[in-house]
Chain A
Amino acid sequence: MENFIYSMIIAATPLLLAAIGELVAERSGVLNLGVEGMMLMGAVVAFAVANSTGSTPLAILAGAGAGAGMALIFSVIALSLLANQAATGLALTIFGIGASGLIGQSFVGIALEPLAKLSIPFLTESTAVGRILLGHDPMVYMALALAAGVAWFLYNTRGGLALRAVGDNHDSGHALGYNVIAIRYMATLFGGACAGLGGAYLSLAYTPMWAENMTAGRGWIALALVVFATWRPLRLVAGAYLFAAVTQLQFYGQDWGLPIASQFLAMAPYVATILALVIISRDVNLTKANAPACIGKPFRAER
């Protein structure tokens, strides 16, 4: 059980990182379906930098930068040129799968040292709680801090208010003098950087290597998590941990002697995503009250 919770926390981290970024983008009214592609680019670029420089902080930064770069492509096409956001996001994912495969082809089969784990003398090792909570790599805590920071920003700052206003009604936001497009650019780039961090976590810590398509749908699960959390950051943290627990079933199911083929256990996160979407979406009041009203709608200032 101790191992299960420990690995659940690790599995939740990439989902949480990617989803918290997408939450900010969606709160500003932008639906970026390219999370999977941005994560893959973050993963491969972070791996490349870690492999060539040996510097973890640089690798993490590069991963975030790669994700933000991808988000910039999305922003130019979907926000400045007013293209359909769903289609642009899909293009971003298709492009990201191809581009990460190309960049990563020389790294296939190389393994890195995983990120160093935190170890507080006495506290980490002496109790089960310490081992579960205090023995992780820094990105685990960074993801949680990021979620807390986003929650604080959205509900306690003028910037957060402007971001939510623009997402709920871009015409009113514009009339109030907010630069809708600039706010959406920043939110989308932040979302991309977070997705890049999520990808970097996969290739630096979760499985410290590069493999094509190594995200295996986590970008899409992150998108579903945002809906599941009804666009609220703290619910998102709970959702990510819950999902990660389901993901872990495939690794622990066989240890526990469940008489189920591995493929069916591997389906668990995807089926759970569908169930979660159904449970949340069926309650119209819940989604209507929280979903940004202008999500996915292009905005063009009249003057």
Chain B
Amino acid sequence: MIVLEPRPQPSRALALLSPVIAIVLTLIAGGILIALMGRPPLEALRIYFFQPFEEFWMWLTLPTGEREMWLYTPSEVIVKAIPLALIGSGLAVCFRANVWNIGAAGQYTMGAIISGWVALSAPEGASGIWLVPYLIAGVLGGMLWAAIPALLRVRFNANEILVSLMLTYVAALLLDWLVRGPFKDPLGFGFPESKEFQPGFIMPVLVDGTRLHLGVALAVIAAVALWVMMGRTMKGFEVRVIGAAPRAGAFAGFSRDRTIWFVMLLSGGLAGLAGAVEISATVQQLQPQINAEYGFVAIIVAFLGRLNPIGALFGAVILAVSYIGGENAQIMLKLPKAVTGIFQGMLLFFLLGCDTLIRFRIRLARPRVG
């Protein structure tokens, strides 16, 4: 019989090792799944998880002139990781406070809607400076949508998980209505799309020949700022205390309600920013589908990053690798897109299971007799 024996102190080593074990277990389980589907497992796993790293290695080691072509796939990974990191680092702080904002997908959509509205109503010939109000509008859109579950939680004690989640469906339907109605491009041949944004609203590309854009700086700045806040400021301490021991926090004069407002608006604002950045950098117009599922995948990112904002950067890259790998495997091995979702779900399962090892030792014990 397996017995869990509490450790005197949580293991720091296992806290860092647990994501690695979880990734290895996901690869093994994923390999078995792919073999069951009748595809070559090793080949598939290589395409899924290692190819972007291999190509990055080629770029690092080859001389100038031959190496440029190898940068494209790694740069696409970073492009995918940007929205995941922005949302994931905010959620990491939110979950630390034991506040469960599950509706980041809706806040992302709302960020895209409000910033898109700014872009579509700007005067002809708007310059690059418009990017600033555009991104701020995204943040405000996300905060607005996160304010609803925060208000209902603080004022009426309504469960923030269910409220924020219901609002993702409302936001998606609102976007659908907008791109088929008020935001629809009159010259768009009837497609449910807005006009394309003017050049002033497009995130500047940092490296020629790739789509790597300024958003990467925003994601890194946000993660570092949140990390400093959590570790070095009173506000971060308040968030951690309220999350770990709300009663102790109350004695220290910290307000649970204020913390709920703070982390909801913070994570909602970052999700909204992610929506604005993503639209501006990739499709440059509003469409019915804008990859809002990033809001859910970012939950895995936050956990993979140990609910640490900097960790979320790494988590975002790993999940982005699985996305790009999934697209490549779809093309090269005809593996269905749904496999990516299975990998992501399994990763979170294994991660949560492995996290038990941080607090407990697993011991085999004989069942007690008598």
Contacts and interface: CB of A to CB of B under 8 A. Distances in A.
Interface of A: 33, 37, 73, 76-78, 81-84, 86-88, 90-92, 94-102, 105, 212, 216-217, 220-221, 223-224, 227, 261, 263-264, 266-267, 270-271, 273-274, 277-278, 281-282, 284, 287, 300
Interface stretch (B171-179, B205-213, B255-263, B269-277): B171-179
16 contacts: A77-B349, A90-B102, A91-B345, A94-B300, A95-B342, A98-B342, A98-B343, A105-B336, A220-B166, A223-B162, A224-B159, A270-B170, A271-B166, A273-B162, A278-B158, A282-B155
A78 B353 CA distance: 8
B195 to A, nearest CB: 20
Contact of B170 (A221, A224, A271, A277): A271
A98 B344 contact: yes
Nearest to B352: A83
A278 B356 contact: no
Interface of B: 4, 100, 102, 148, 152, 155-159, 161-163, 165-167, 169-170, 173-174, 176-177, 180-181, 296-297, 299-300, 303, 336-346, 348-349, 352-353, 355-356, 359-360
Contact of B341 (A94, A105, A271, A284): A94
Contacts of A102: 336, 338-339, 342
Given A264-B173, A277-B162, 9 more contacts: A77-B352, A82-B356, A83-B352, A84-B352, A91-B345, A94-B300, A98-B342, A224-B166, A274-B152
A227 B356 contact: no
A281 B4 CA distance: 36
A274 B345 CA distance: 27
B156 A281 contact: yes
Given A94-B345, A95-B345, A83 B355 contact: yes
Contacts, number: 145
Contacts of A264: 173, 177
B267 to A, nearest CB: 15
B157 A282 contact: yes
B135 to A, nearest CB: 27
A179 to B, nearest CB: 13
